[in-house]
Structure 1
Amino acid sequence: MTDLLIRDALVVDGTGAPGFPADVVVDGGRIREVTAAGRGPSARRILAADRRVLAPGFIDMHAHSDLQILADPAHTAKVSQGVTCELLGQDGLSFAPVDGPTRELIGRQVAGWNGEPAGLELGWDSVGGYLDRLDRGIACHAAYLVPQGTVRMLIVGTDDRPATEPERARMVALVRQGLAEGAVGMSSGLTYPPGMFADDDELVELCRVVAESGGFYAPHHRSYGVGALAAYAEMIEVCRRAGCALHLTHATMNFEPNRGRAGELLAMIDDALDGGADITLDSYPYLPGSTTLAALLPSWAAAGGPDALLARLGDAAARARIADALDRVGSDGCHGCVVDWSTIQISGVARPELSAAVGRSVAELAAEQGRSPAEVCFDLLVRDGLATTILQHVGDEDNVRAIMRHRVHTGGSDAILVGQRPHPRGWGTFPRYLGRYVRELAVLGLEDCVHHLTGRAAARLRLVDRGLVRVGQHADLVLFDPATVQDTATFEDPRRQAVGIDMCW
């Protein structure tokens, strides 16, 4: 007798094809049969789907759960959305490969992304060691990208300088080793130190190694603001030179200079695709972004690592120079834009005594204190050890809708799960696609949207036996009600569980 019969489901199989009523038989963790509704065999367990949608489990193509997936065994934020696989190691900064000093530096730099989970022993140093640790038991599957910034920190350090030939060779070897140990590609964070200090020739050399393995490059590129189109073009050119597949991570067109300009980005991508390039992208269905407060600062201020940055924030002349970049010139950390402090909302702090700032904009805090926003920003960073996180309200709805319609689009939450009031995309991304952008706004059709969130993403990750409802595939499945599925997480209450997601395997 088989393990499970899912009876009378509306199967949306992840290919984009029209949904169809069927019984689905699961045995030994795999789909053994997809047959006409009401024709399935007896099973130890029978689940009446009642024409709810049975789809492949959703794949989060941009997750920051690198430590939280270990610290929180239930991983409710993602599993409750129907997510069965996450892509980790994003934005060039993660926890493998590392040595002792690098592990400490990375932990401080991305504390706002991952927190400092109590009792979690970070006992690995290689990509293989990290993946082995995940294999000991997590709530959903995970894939990993070798983080280029971490590799550069390990070999070159935190200074803003070109890598030497021997250093490049050692970075190439580390990336090659990480790919051999199971990584699916390489990420960069080219607005985050130290990965941002790599020039294009260095990136091309590393991407050639990625291409040799059949993997892909997933860059957070050098600007999402004033220089966004040039930055996207740069990444397309890097991958053209390297012969490497490209996945444009959290592909947005944010900030005032880019309002209504998504079509220019998509035309650029279409031209490259038509010329033979292998490109995909991901996005989240919200307007605000989320990052660390320190990320807004100019890159020169971060050279040398966290202690060097804190020293500069303690120096009056350096503070004045940083404030000039933020308020008058345009900081590369703010994507070439002058910071609009009214759009910068504090979402999390590490020090409890600073919690009154959470939920407030830097502009509001400055007005209350009778000080400049830049000074408020600097003092928060110093007092919080650089761990402060923010929401940045700079998105454009027309751009969001245009990008999610594109033929190579996939879904990625870019979710930070820690902090007092993190972005609601951590709990709501995938139901929001299905509720708001399919049912309410009809930006995507149901089958097309499921294809974006499952089969297309699985193909990018080379998951040959996941991502579809098909005989022989692993039974990574989600059952949801298309009439009620909806995100409920808000910016005020960001950890509310979605409705309409009935089961996730």
Structure 2
Amino acid sequence: MAQGRRQVMYDVVIRHGLVIDGTGSPGKHWDVGIKDGKIVAVATRITDKGSQEIDAAGLVVAPGFIDTHSHSDLMLLANPSLEEKIRQGVTTEILGQDGLGLAPIPSAEAANMLREHLAGLLGRPDIEWTWRTFGEYLKAYQKKGIVLNVGTLVSHGALRIAVFGMEDRPSTAAELATMKSLLVEALEAGAMGLSTGLIYPPCNFAAREEMVMLGETLADYSRALVVHVRNEADNLLEAQQEMISLAEETNMHLHISHLKTIGKKNWHKIDDSLALIEKAKENGVCITADQYPYIAGSTSLSACLPHWAMDGGPKAMLARLTDENMRQKIKEAFKTPVPNWQNRGETEGWENVVVASVRSDDPAVVGRSIAELSQAQNKHPVDVIMDILLREENQATMVCFQNSEENVKKVMQKPWVMVCTDGILGGGKPHPRLYGSFPRVLGKYVREEKVISLEEAIRKMTALPAAAFGLRDRGIIKEGLA
């Protein structure tokens, strides 16, 4: 180094910004110095220069946002830049949600079955499924060179498929032991917990004994069970109590995905729902939750069908849809209440169920409600759904208008609820939560409507999820963290 030239201490110095550090504390005007990807100085004034200087006067400086519920699993391997998340401030994602993750897949048969099972929601991007173990799966992201930080849950659905496929039956003692072994292997390889989706096959085929085994194993490793509860509509309270009882019995951390009430007739249940959770928390049960800030949800179109129609997996389901007797039986199911099944025609109404994407990108279908298509085609609404699933080989998603603004705000105000996108990538007309969840909270609910403070919103996007999922190196603007 030439004599007299001063050594640069920082890679980046962010100056003059209002630092909201993620803890919920009031913001302060600080400078932030960064070196080798770590925060190394937070001070009222940093005198040394950075290789890059950023003047943040008039702006807010916050930790990178953590999306606690994402479905980027496959698309991130096909498109490592994922601008849909980066552009809204997300720097870390938690994948493997709703029991719909990508590992483990110990055999070619399991891999093929899982690929078919996930295609309806995650699509079929042109990537090679080169992994078998959960550890190999994590390395696939490292090799791809993705721009986001990724943590992932082991998927309950993948565990079941790995052991005995998509059969609608309880697991045997031997199968339970194998599932536990695979779960332990995944947790030791770096899984951040386990997800289950109790409205989706094969997770919803699991008996209580299986759920207890999963919960006890997670408790042994101090990891969370992240759950899409069995019913978010007519039986919401019973479904929540089922999971709370499991958490009480196993001493596990329960994280409830996208907390909400579905269907206008159920909106009043939100107060009892929140009270049920808070009573359990007061009694020592570890419970957290997340939400996306919209009144509409989104998932695969096949989720409209009764559970038994999906026994055996997508190929078996599609075969049923070619059988006129089975089609009639499926339509009859919509006339009679089925335990623990969410009848979307009854809870949301077909006018509120909109086709978001299909494999063919058919403009005659995408963006139109099932009620509208039913009238235009002079078909029963369930026939419309079954025909779309057949024609598109199960690769179809929907957006369902189901919640109320008042309830979104009530959930948002709870200090144990964090922010997520639950975004589904693909073509068509995707739910705007994929692109807009974090900006919507900051713009609509903080700046415009003042539902929560800016400091609280940022805490829900950073420090709260970091603590919930054991991300000890991020979530707060503090020296030594990322």
The TM-score normalised by the length of structure 1 is 0.91
- 1:61-80 equivalences under 5 Å are 61-80=68-87
2:280 aligned partner: 272
Helix, strand or coil at the partner of 1:205: helix
- 1:122-137 equivalences under 5 Å are 122-136=129-143, 137=145
- Distance in 2, matches of 1:87 and 1:335, equals 29
- Distance in 1, matches of 2:344 and 2:238, equals 12
Alignment of 1:50 onto 2:44: no
- Distance in 1, matches of 2:110 and 2:432, equals 31
Residue 417 of structure 1: which of 425, 444, 448 is its match? 425
Unaligned runs of 5+ in 1: 475-505
Residue 381 of structure 1: which of 385, 389, 396 is its match? 389
1:344 aligned partner: 353
* Shift of residue 330, structure 1, vs aligned partner: 5.7
The question of whether the paired residues in 1 share the 8 Å contact of 2:200 and 2:303 is answered with yes
Helix, strand or coil at the partner of 1:356: coil
* Shift of residue 331, structure 1, vs aligned partner: 8.0
- Distance in 2, matches of 1:364 and 1:348, equals 16
The one-letter code sitting in structure 2 at the alignment partner of 1:158 is M
- Distance in 2, matches of 1:179 and 1:56, equals 27
Alignment of 1:288 onto 2:296: yes
Residue 38 of structure 2: which of 30, 37, 45 is its match? 30
* Shift of residue 223, structure 1, vs aligned partner: 0.3
- 1:201-350 equivalences under 5 Å are 201-329=209-337, 332-334=340-342, 338=346, 340-350=349-359
Alignment of 1:106 onto 2:114: yes
Runs of 4+ in 1 over 3 A off after TM superposition: 327-333
1:467 aligned partner: 475
- Distance in 1, matches of 2:238 and 2:337, equals 19
- Distance in 2, matches of 1:18 and 1:40, equals 24
Q: Deviations over 1:236-286 (max 9, x none)?
A: 111111110010011111212321322111111111111111111000000
* Shift of residue 337, structure 1, vs aligned partner: 6.5
* Shift of residue 110, structure 1, vs aligned partner: 2.1
Helix, strand or coil at the partner of 1:84: strand
- Distance in 2, matches of 1:173 and 1:183, equals 14
* Shift of residue 4, structure 1, vs aligned partner: 1.0
Q: 52-61 vs 301-310, which deviates more?
A: 301-310
Q: Deviations over 1:186-209 (max 9, x none)?
A: 000111111110012211111111
1:484 aligned partner: none
The question of whether the paired residues in 1 share the 8 Å contact of 2:334 and 2:343 is answered with no
The one-letter code sitting in structure 2 at the alignment partner of 1:109 is H
Provide closer, same or farther for how the CA distance between residues 349 and 327 of structure 1 changes in structure 2, counting only shifts above 3 A: farther
The question of whether the paired residues in 1 share the 8 Å contact of 2:235 and 2:340 is answered with no
- Distance in 1, matches of 2:266 and 2:114, equals 32
2:415 aligned partner: 407
Helix, strand or coil at the partner of 2:473: coil
Helix, strand or coil at the partner of 1:159: coil
The question of whether the paired residues in 2 share the 8 Å contact of 1:112 and 1:348 is answered with no
Q: Deviations over 1:104-159 (max 9, x none)?
A: 222222223222112x1110011101111112211111111110111111112211
The two structures, once aligned, show a CA RMSD in angstroms of: 1.4
* Shift of residue 78, structure 1, vs aligned partner: 0.3
Alignment of 1:166 onto 2:174: yes
Aligned residues: 471
The question of whether the paired residues in 2 share the 8 Å contact of 1:255 and 1:394 is answered with yes
The question of whether the paired residues in 1 share the 8 Å contact of 2:196 and 2:203 is answered with yes
1:191 aligned partner: 199
Identity percentage of aligned residues: 38
The one-letter code sitting in structure 2 at the alignment partner of 1:212 is D
Helix, strand or coil at the partner of 2:328: helix
Q: 307-316 vs 401-410, which deviates more?
A: 307-316
- Distance in 1, matches of 2:85 and 2:254, equals 25
The question of whether the paired residues in 1 share the 8 Å contact of 2:33 and 2:46 is answered with no
* Shift of residue 379, structure 1, vs aligned partner: 0.8
Helix, strand or coil at the partner of 1:196: helix
- Distance in 1, matches of 2:226 and 2:392, equals 30
Provide closer, same or farther for how the CA distance between residues 449 and 335 of structure 1 changes in structure 2, counting only shifts above 3 A: farther
Helix, strand or coil at the partner of 1:81: coil
The one-letter code sitting in structure 1 at the alignment partner of 2:441 is Y
Alignment of 1:17 onto 2:19: no
The question of whether the paired residues in 2 share the 8 Å contact of 1:227 and 1:335 is answered with no
Helix, strand or coil at the partner of 2:51: strand
* Shift of residue 335, structure 1, vs aligned partner: 5.4
Q: Deviations over 1:204-246 (max 9, x none)?
A: 1111111111111001111011101110111111111111001
The one-letter code sitting in structure 2 at the alignment partner of 1:42 is K
Unaligned runs of 5+ in 2: 1-7
The question of whether the paired residues in 2 share the 8 Å contact of 1:56 and 1:469 is answered with yes
* Shift of residue 317, structure 1, vs aligned partner: 1.6
- Distance in 1, matches of 2:161 and 2:312, equals 10
